[in-house]
Structure 1
């Protein structure tokens, strides 16, 4: 059951400038077009073609084909920099004008949509069930507005349309392709439409926002045999069951109680008949944590436990453990920037939600490891309109009023940072 706390807060349209209010219908149209044509990671060909078409139509400089389907749009401001903040002092040359990046992800999920709406997915088994269609529409709206109001900011804005956030991850290959260079990015911001918060709120905090994501696959090898003769076997199910229980002690007894962490076994496959003792078992799962000090720790500790149990039971194992994404860590100064501008768009104090951490992961973390930045949540749930299903649910949808709010916050951040 969805909490009634997801009923929307008051949205004051007067806090959104008329030129962005005028874009709202277009934002909805773009979002719904993208929603009807979802594409999986690194396969966002229709999506990138649509973005490219719009950028060309508006005369915005851009590069395509980055990390297969990624796009970077570049918009140069024409405002003269503020003398106090952008001069090197008497007799010194002016300091470089600022460069702010805005990141939006484009990919969808392998989910069959169950919504009965006119803009329902037309691609069987693929759905925008996490809001990335909205992220792309907001980024497009921001690009259009900035291209029409270049006199309102100095420096450069780079808008990064990123593929494959849901996996295997498009941020890292885009960074490796140089999207944060030429010109060098000083800071980066991004948002996630968030159905865990109601419309009219913004979740923003300094420090850890989202967790590191690490994954494992484990095969335990025993010795099969007759269910009536267990003394002749090494029961892989018994061994694997001990492993599942013991892995929970990592968080309970090895992690500082002040820190948050999760070890989840999500798959357990073994056995084939009532009277046969299984000779093997397969487990898979995920590890999540906020504190970067645990980088490398969980994989080591997990294997120590598995090895000890298997040795004691006469079994062997094969473990594959890998780190997918590091934690999303926001820079305090850029988080303050986002917070200060969001306060002008939502009602305060209730519209700003600082305690908004989640054990979900995001490859925005790779960008934040390279340059200071802030990733924040834009509340998009509206229980009164039945728009409060969780992310990755086949009936996920959000209140599109949030689209214009997202553009307004991005534009305000640009105007403040690039002053």
Structure 2
């Protein structure tokens, strides 16, 4: 089956879908219009589905004419809280909401693949489930666990997902076996002291001093306590304290994230941060509230599923489009929850254009070349058929 040629014929239709989704961008757990758009196109394709799964999620199913196993293709649905700065006709309508992580294209990939697969049911051995998942950006909870809890994926033998990637050249497909993306955890540490006049610090307990000591101390958890061969990142994104220049701060909030690949490193850093926070509070005669949220697990691609993706890339686009990467990313994806239960693989779709400014994911100027839409759809359809034919 030449899915690429078939998908090219759907290009204008896919652009229409993507722009409609882009204009109606909605945040995590609010994907009402987004789900309506998806259901509208599934109805048009005459593909049956179940809705309101794990919130506003949708799971559709295409049954091939021949018996076989079951494969799932997943797309995330939610957008981010930011105002779009692109001057385009299909600019996001909802204030301070934008598809700046490319989820509109991911939904289009799966809808495009659905159209191709539904038109070729006579060549499908088994079933294809189409998973439209809400709340991917809702770290550390994510939308994937609720989809899994529904039980509707219990019969799935393998699951595949993708993400557009501005750091890669346009049309290149990157994948690796094993760790592809990191554990993603969120910590919030609130130090409590006692306010006093800034000129009489001995009469109070300085929460800012405790916060500063903590931020400095946790740097050694990576630089001195973590194996240099293991990738790990600790970043403080917010430091909030004080009400006035001449009043000693009573509270100090330290808010940040920890990214790791090793579960051993993850647990050790959690414990060491807790011990440091409590020790710093104690020695300064203050107190601390320590909250550490274990978020998305590391995304680990399964070997045989990676081979399916590689072979599909070569078949659909040619071997020159495949990039076998050696290093994972420190970013995170709740697709990892699926891979803890179901074998499968996740890959990146290059959208970078040489000689142009390529804005990163989560930028309010993020934009993509819509020529990627028919390519991403063709590849997803190819992966589904190849998995079913080989199993």
Using structure 1 for the length normalisation, give the TM-score.
Answer: 0.89
2:232 corresponds in structure 1 to 261
Contact 1:203 1:355 in 2 (8 A): no
d(CA) in 2 for partners of 1:127, 1:231: 49
Note if 1:406 corresponds to 2:379: no
Residues 1:120 and 1:353: Cα distance change in structure 2 (over 3 Å): farther
Give the Cα separation in 2 of the matches to 1:203 and 1:217. Answer: 34
Answer yes or no: is 1:18 the counterpart of 2:1.
no
Q: How many residues align?
A: 386
- Structure 1 residues 198-217: aligned runs within 5 Å: 198-217=169-188
Measured in 1, the distance between the counterparts of 2:308 and 2:387 equals 8
2:385 is matched with 415
**Shift, 1:139, TM fit:** 0.5
1:285-333 alpha-carbon deviations (Å, 9 max, x no partner): 1111112333433221210111112212212101121112111111111
Choose from 130, 140, 151 the match for 1:178.
151
Partner of residue 273, structure 1: 244
* Alignment check: 8 A CA contact 2:316 2:382 kept: no
RMSD of equivalent CA atoms: 1.6
SS of equivalent to 1:344: helix
Please state whether the residue corresponding to 1:17 is helix, strand or coil.
Answer: helix
Contact 2:195 2:247 (C-alpha < 8 Å) held by counterparts? yes
Contact 2:184/2:332 (8 A) holds in 1: yes
Aligned residue for 1:282, secondary structure, equals strand
The structural deviation recorded for 1:366 is: 0.6
Is the contact between residue 78 and residue 99 of structure 2 (CA under 8 Å) also seen in structure 1?
yes
Does the CA contact (< 8 Å) of 1:121 and 1:127 recur in 2?
Answer: yes
Between the aligned partners of 1:401 and 1:358, the Cα distance in structure 2 is 25
* 1:337-387 C-alpha deviation (Å, 9 max, x unpaired): 11121123445446414135211111101100001110110001224454x
For residue 380 of structure 1, what is the aligned residue in structure 2? 351
Partner of 1:317: 288
Match 2:112 to one of 116, 119, 141: 141
Please give the alpha-carbon distance, in whole angstroms, between the structure 2 residues aligned to 1:363 and 1:152: 32
TM-score (norm 2): 0.95
| Cα deviation digits, residues 231-281 of structure 1 (max 9, x gap) | 223221111101001111111122221111111111111122222221221
> Does residue 126 of structure 2 align to residue 155 of structure 1?
yes
Separation of aligned partners in 2, 1:365 and 1:212? 9
Residue in 1 aligned with 2:15?
Answer: 28
Pick from 53, 62, 66 the counterpart of residue 75 of structure 1.
62
Q: Which of 300, 322, 329 in structure 2 is aligned with 1:358?
A: 329
Q: Does the 8 Å CA contact 1:190/1:375 hold for their aligned counterparts?
A: yes
For residue 213 of structure 2, give the secondary structure of its aligned residue in structure 1: helix
Counterpart position of 1:224: 195
CA distance in 1, matches of 2:88, 2:364: 13
- Whether 1:189 aligns to 2:160 is yes
Residue 86 of structure 2 aligns to a residue whose secondary structure is coil
Task: Give the aligned partner of residue 119 of structure 1.
Answer: 90
Deviation larger for 55-64 or 346-355: 346-355
Call closer, same or farther: CA 1:16–1:60 in 2, change over 3 Å. closer
